[in-house]
Amino acid sequence: MVRLVTHNLLACHVKGCTTNNFPLAFQDVQIELQEAEFNPEFVKNLIPRLEWGALADAAKQVGDTSLPPEEPDMMDDDLLQKLHHVLLEIHVIEGAMVCPNCKHVYPISNGIPNMLLAEHEIG
Amino acid sequence: MIPTPDLSHLTQTDFVHVYEPAEDTFLLLDALEQEADELKKHPPLICLEIGSGSGCVSAFLGTILGPSVAIHLSTDINQHASSCTLATGRQNKIIIDPVTCSLAQPLLTRLTRSVDILLFNPPYVPTDTEEASIAQGGGGIAGAWAGGASGMEITDRFLKDVDGLLSDRGKLYLVALKQNDVSGICSRMLTEFNLQSKIVIQRRAGREHLFIIRFSRPNRCS
């Protein structure tokens, strides 16, 4: 499933596409919400692994504006809840992700991103 | 005793396209079970399985760790395998996030030194190079076993990425066959990347002598 946590970890890997190849932009997405158990400690531990700006922006692209555009200095429980929802409960089911640099389109179908490249695109 | 993941939702038709768990899979499960206490003592945050196939191994790791403590990412070049992995996660109440791709390609940039548990049951059967490369390109079930020269062509490609992916406390569990030259793999990983190795478990299964090798950074685990 393309949860936003997964989206935050994927970059374009077309041969030679090495700058401005993250974050991929969502295109024509359908989303589904699926409740997940809230573990504040887990969400807190994930923060250092995230690109906050990319996450807040991805959330906005799928219609969720609950995160501040920049990582706040203080994390209260309310914000952790919001982060939990954005990261782990929003599932992109259909659509595509587009590289901001080379414009390569990675389709998402049945909740699975297809990041395969053709032979000549592999680095 | 940790139960083997429930795969009753998968059909024989699925196993025409996707590798059905066999002795090599079960040996990897046994290795993880043997390490369960250690894994739970220092719970991993990010787990990544390469070539997840049915999703059996990631679901098993998720069951060991418990819900909502780790991210379980998986990759496979076979789209059917990605679907099976997703479904196996659901069936076993473990959320697995599958990505259809070769090895860890689209994740390498963002997961630099971030993966706590890396799992790979590679296509390890020695075949000729062409057979392995057609199998990988085709994205079908042959990609699950055809390993090229010494059964190591796909594994060797991945081993170059391991140092970049593993976190400070990260561990790779790799399935290997005796013919893959287990001690050679271990000494190469030590000289090239300073990654130490340990054979967690080994077993003869029919004609195959299988090993589970664990790689980690020095002085991180026993």
Chain A contacts in chain B segment 166-185 (CB below 8 A): none
List, for residues A47-97, the tens digit of each pLDDT value: 999 999 999 999 999 999 999 999 999 899 999 999 999 999 999 999 999
ipTM above 0.85, yes or no: yes
Name every chain B residue with its beta carbon within 8 A of the beta carbon of A115: 99-101, 105-106
* Whether B158 contacts B166, CB under 8 Å: no
CA B56 to chain CA centroid, nearest Å: 10
Give the C-alpha separation, A83 to A42, whole Å. Answer: 11
Domain ranges of chain A: 2-121
Question: What residues does each domain of chain B span?
Answer: 14-216
CA-nearest of B171, B176, B166 to B113 is B166
Count of C-beta atoms within a 10 Å radius of residue B31: 21
Report residue A53 as tokens. Answer: 């700006």
Q: Is B97 on the interface with A (CB under 8 A)?
A: yes
Pairing of strands B71-76, B115-120: unpaired
Q: Are residues A9 and B111, on separate chains, in Cβ contact within 8 Å?
A: yes
Give the residue on A whose Cα is nearest the Cα of B105. Answer: A13
Interface residue B201 vs chain A (CB under 8 A): no
Closest CA to A117 of B117, B105, B147: B105
Integer Cα distance of B120 and B137 in angstroms: 19
Digitized pLDDT (tens) for each residue of chain B, 222 residues in all? 899 999 999 999 999 999 999 999 999 999 999 999 999 998 999 999 999 999 999 999 999 999 889 999 999 999 999 999 999 999 999 999 999 999 999 999 999 999 999 999 999 999 999 999 999 988 899 999 999 999 999 999 999 999 999 999 999 999 999 999 999 999 999 999 999 999 999 999 999 999 999 999 997 444
Token digits for A29? Answer: 């997405």
Pick the CATH number of A2-121 from 2.20.25.10, 2.102.10.10, 3.30.56.10, 3.30.2310.20: 2.20.25.10
Whole-angstrom distance, CA of residue B142 vs CA of residue B152:
15
The CATH class of B14-216 is: alpha beta
CB A27, CB A107: distance < 8 Å = no
Helix axes B153-165, B129-138, angle to 10 degrees: 60
